[in-house]
Amino acid sequence: MLKAIVTDMLKPVAPEEAILRQNGVSLVYGDCKTEIELVELTQDADAIIDVYARLSAKVINSLKRCQVIVRRGIGYDSIDIKAATAKGIPVANVRDYCIDEVADHTITLLLCATRKVIKPREQVKSGGWDFKQFLPILSLGECTLGLVGFGKIPRAVARRAQCFDLKVETSDPFISDELAAEHGVKRVSLEKLLSTSDFVSVHVPLNDETRGMFTRREFAMMKPSAVFINTSRGPVVDEVALAEALHNGKIAFAALDVMTREPPTSDNPLRLMHNVIITPHLAWYSERSAKVVGEEAAQQIVQVFKGYFPKFLVNLEVSKLRTDLKWSD
């Protein structure tokens, strides 16, 4: 029987298990924390479903019969793509899930930051009742939301933001002015977006170009009243620079669903700052999205076992090596 291995998610992962077993594939669950554990777990894997574990070149080069690696999510920065390609292993992700969920969470963070939801709740719980402590509060119809990146998720954010009469701008070098305009959004430079936006929301993948893209320089360009929102990947932000900007009044507030290290260390100052909201990387989740991501991960494994490239192939170069696989219609 073929074997698929989940690197680091505890049971149950019901969508994967049901689909794989129906297709004659057993599923083994791991909870790997180290490279050594990953090497030991994946030795006889025919397929790997990666959640958060880092599949380094050492791990990938140790694989003996793996036919496909699927990242159970959109980002795939945890996988050494070059090593997988050199070994002839297709790598896939799941691109078309949690779009609405992340967009909803982004708008939720924006509203919580604007309407000062957290601190007033704490005040009332302790017996207080004085809205004046939380002024000023901006009118959204007078504000600009700047979206860094304009893929599927930020386009969904733009639709929601426009319902609140927010003016929406985007900075994305990979789209045209015309495409942005089709969504009622103006495309501007990153510098202009940072200097004019009341809310800056980040929606970029993590790669060599975006890692650490928000530094002291970028925060210094923003309005002192600006709110910084990140629901993409933690390492796109220099967290030391962010904490300094918040502490020194360079920006007013940060709302984060992702961190460079998850969970953040106890000495990370962002955890305790009064002008920061942090949620534990939950923007992607709903009962629906959890089901969809599992199903699509499993279905792509089955595709490869049946002789086809996976639906969302990341390393297209591997098609030159895997002549045994076909493209599905």
User: What's the Cα-to-Cα distance from 152 to each of 70, 97, 129, 227, 296, rounded to whole Å?
Assistant: 20, 10, 41, 22, 18
Structure tokens at 124: 């009332």
What single DSSP character describes residue 178?
H
58 contacts 81 by C-beta, under 8 angstroms: no
- φ/ψ (deg, to 5) at 85: -65, -45
Amino acid at 112: C
Give the orientation angle of helix 14-22 with respect to helix 287-305, to 10 degrees: 30
> Where do runs of H (alpha helix) occur along the chain?
14-22, 35-42, 57-61, 81-86, 99-114, 118-125, 152-163, 177-182, 190-196, 216-221, 239-247, 287-305
Among candidate residues 16, 187, 233, 296, the one labeled active-site is: 233
288 flagged as catalytic: no
247 flagged as catalytic: no
274 flagged as catalytic: no
Among candidate residues 281, 288, 296, 322, the one labeled active-site is: 281
Beta bridge partners of 249: none
Among candidate residues 182, 191, 209, 262, the one labeled active-site is: 262
- State the CB neighbour count (10 A cutoff) for residue 125: 8
Cα–Cα distance, 56 to 53 (Å, whole number) = 9
Q: What does R_g of the chain's alpha carbons equal in angstroms?
A: 22
Cα–Cα distance, 120 to 113 (Å, whole number) = 11
User: What's the Cα-to-Cα distance from 142 to each of 156, 177, 255, 263, rounded to whole Å?
Assistant: 21, 23, 20, 36
What are the catalytic residues?
A: 233, 262, 281
